[in-house]
Amino acid sequence: MTSGDPTKVEYFHSEKGDDMEMGKAGGSVVQENKVDAIVDSDAQIDPVLEKKVMRKVDWRLLPVVTAIYAFSLIDRTNYGGARIAGMDEALHLDVGNRASVALMILFVGYILFELPSNILLKKFGPRIWLSTLGLCFGILTIASGLVKTWGALAAVRAFLGVFEAGLLPGCFYLMTSWYRKYEIQRRLSYFIQSTFVITSFSNALAYGLTQIADEPEVDGWKWIFIVEGAITIGIALVLFFVVVDLPSSSGNKFLSPAEKELIKQRIMTERGEFEGEKITWKVIVYTFSQWHVISISFLYLAAAAGSYTWIIFNPIILRNSMGYSLVSAYMLTVPPAVFSTITTLIVSRYADKWHIRGPVCWFGTVIGLAGVAMVGFAESPVARYAGIWVGEIGTNAYIVTCVAWGHNNIRTDGPRAVLSSIHVGSAAVGAIYSSLVFRQQDAPDYIPGLAAIIAILTAGFVVSVLTSFFLWRANKKADAGKKIIEGAVGFRYTW
């Protein structure tokens, strides 16, 4: 929730961040570095033209970033499907922790290269940089189907993580550059949930691709990687010609001059700036110093750990723990993903409408916990499968809300680009956590792994409640004139 509207005011940005004090001269903030003022110019924006322009932006931006990220996610998460189609036996992944190591090593590159990748995205532009990343990880996905040893697979996946590192933070940053704070969760839910639905069908696709092999349950895994990698390369080549650049770029030819001016007015209204800000060490340090960045990033970590439980381990749990056949294990992952997408879209619509984030995280966590508990401790396969439905409903709504919540509380361009990297890096840590706690020696029930997911989701619930409280309290201080948030008198946190 939030309170207060932006008002026209001149202010000066302090290196002290949020701990600014009101000056005596006309209510302006007397500090060191002047920045642009937030201007309440909604009255100057034609609502009919605005609706038309944003619909045009939606159709040009969302399908493109969804397609490339969906297939990057398929390339990354087809690991579970490949394991039950002969990869474990062919590469001896069932020895010790080899399967977990090969899965986890991808996320090391994710964590290390996300921020450098966003810096390069701002330098080269989304069109060039995102399409280049897509081309590289498509090639590496094909290489995953050609390896002969588990060590070679681990090496390929390490490089895959490097090139996939910039894609999701780049998409987040690009999307939040175009939309206002209470428009973004709906768009993020379309983006993220569409990729989840497509990914859920990837198991059915994987099953079909295994049939190319003479012995599907022996060599089918190779064709999963080879064909899906080729598709990713094709999408990356298309991406080069159709993806939009940042709003301030002159390369966005799909908008007329009047439409570009409207976009500029919308952004100036909410943020007080339009041109992109360079990512410097000062910007990086400032972003990491904001306590709410760290707390919401932890929430994203917890949500990602829960979400990756369903994405990566659903086919394994259904096949090895619940005893379903290979084809059933693939197909049964689809319905809960589709249903959770519908519920998440509904939740996101009202979260934007009511300007709430924290309460959505609370309830999403509780529902996710219930689902994990059902999978881990219910007796019948039907009840355990129902737990997958419940768990996906909770964690998917939770993860989308975390992304929107973090970006809602950062006003300026440079820190927002850094925040996108921090968020996705946190998600990578959550994925590592998930991949390590589901150990091969705990098969077929994976009770310790499910208990570890319950633990981190519980911690996320506690942190989300505390974060909401402290953000609410900061808003109250700002309303009383005792605090200035994000260097702007009219800015309020969303809690």
pLDDT value, residue 2:
53
User: Can you tell me the distance from the alpha carbon of 334 to that of 461, in angstroms, rounded to the nearest whole number?
Assistant: 27
> Tens of pLDDT along 202-254?
777 888 888 888 887 788 888 988 998 898 899 889 888 888 888 888 778 88
3-state secondary structure 141-187: HHHHCCCCCHHHHHHHHHHHHHHHCCHHHHHHHHHHHHCCCCCHHHH
The yes-or-no verdict on residue 3 having pLDDT over 70 is no
Domain extents for the chain? 12-479
The yes-or-no verdict on residue 269 having pLDDT over 90 is no
Instruction: Give the percent of the chain with pLDDT over 90.
Output: 26
pLDDT value, residue 11:
28
> Tens of pLDDT along 110-153?
788 888 998 999 889 888 999 999 899 889 999 999 999 988 99
Average pLDDT over the chain, rounded to an integer: 82
Here the tokens at position 144 are: 């995953």
Q: Are 355 and 346 in contact (CB under 8 A)?
A: no
pLDDT value, residue 1:
60
pTM of the entire predicted model: 0.77
Q: Give the amino acid at 135.
A: L
> Tens of pLDDT along 409-465?
998 888 988 999 998 889 888 888 887 887 777 877 788 888 999 999 999 999 999
> Tens of pLDDT along 177-197?
899 888 999 999 889 888 877
Here the tokens at position 11 are: 């202010």
Q: Are 439 and 447 in contact (CB under 8 A)?
A: no
CATH number of 12-479: 1.20.1250.20
Which positions ≥6 away from 160 have C-beta within 8 Å? 75, 76, 106, 109, 137, 140, 141, 144
- Main-chain phi, psi angles of 180, to 5 degrees: -75, 165
